[in-house]
Amino acid sequence: MSDDDLSALWQQQWPGCPPLSHMLNRAFPDRWVRFHSLPESKRYPDHDAEYDVVLHRHNSILDELFQGQDIRIITTHWSDDPEPQAMSPRRARQLPGARHWRSLLDDEDDTDPRYAHLYVDRTTWQPGLLDDLLRDVADEVVADVMITNLSVDRIHAPYDGGADVLLPTTAERDIVKRRHIDWLSVHSHGY
């Protein structure tokens, strides 16, 4: 799929919202649910047993969303340079097929422009496939990651502390939400 085709597909599924994971929950609250990656909404794992819980929760939901399917992994590199940079060696090892998809200007701060350089990889989902990347997200080494199906209408966006999941309909969101009710935030707005 060409970059333009992927951009058009994104706009079809998520109209008016750029492909940045941290913006989706506000733009599509009726399709969004947040799961915490540790009990009692603890944000950061401290030892191997807690990392096991983090990875189990991510892999459980990812498998539910994408079992046996091809997926896209979208990662973001933030920079003050408008030109995309080569991926870090670590990220290139984790996502060997990744290529630059597009760059976006973050216009929230006009005095100090920042660019989001988006890279996309495609592979077939299997549990454990993204454990190194998910650990990096849990440790705040990388942010603004999205794992999607090929039609980009199902998104798992891990962050340090959990994952935002966006689905095609409110009904589908509610089914997944009910299956993992113990992993939900206690915050009234779901954060």
Give yes or no for residue 111 having a pLDDT over 80: no
**pLDDT-derived band at 22, boundaries 50, 70, 90:** very high
Q: pLDDT tens across 148-190, in order?
A: 999 999 999 999 999 999 999 999 999 999 999 999 977 656 5
Which residues, including other chains, have CB under 8 Å from residue 20's CB and lie 6 or more apart?
76, 104, 116, 144
Give CA–CA dist 107/45, Å, rounded.
33
pLDDT of residue 113: 84
**pLDDT-derived band at 109, boundaries 50, 70, 90:** low
pLDDT of residue 41: 82
- Higher pLDDT: 69 or 2? It is 69
**pLDDT-derived band at 136, boundaries 50, 70, 90:** very high
Q: pLDDT tens across 28-87, in order?
A: 999 999 999 998 888 889 999 999 999 999 999 999 999 999 999 999 999 999 999 999
DSSP characters over 32-46 = EEEEESSGGG--S--
User: Does residue 75 contact residue 119 with C-beta atoms inside 8 Å?
Assistant: yes
Report residue 159: phi and psi, to 5°: -140, 170
| pTM for this prediction | 0.94
**pLDDT-derived band at 108, boundaries 50, 70, 90:** low
**Among candidates 145, 148, 190, 139, which has minimal Cα distance to 168?**
148
The mean pLDDT value of the chain amounts to 93
Give CA–CA dist 103/170, Å, rounded.
30
User: Does residue 87 contact residue 119 with C-beta atoms inside 8 Å?
Assistant: yes
User: Does residue 33 contact residue 65 with C-beta atoms inside 8 Å?
Assistant: no
Annotated domain spans of the chain:
3-183
Give CA–CA dist 111/123, Å, rounded.
39
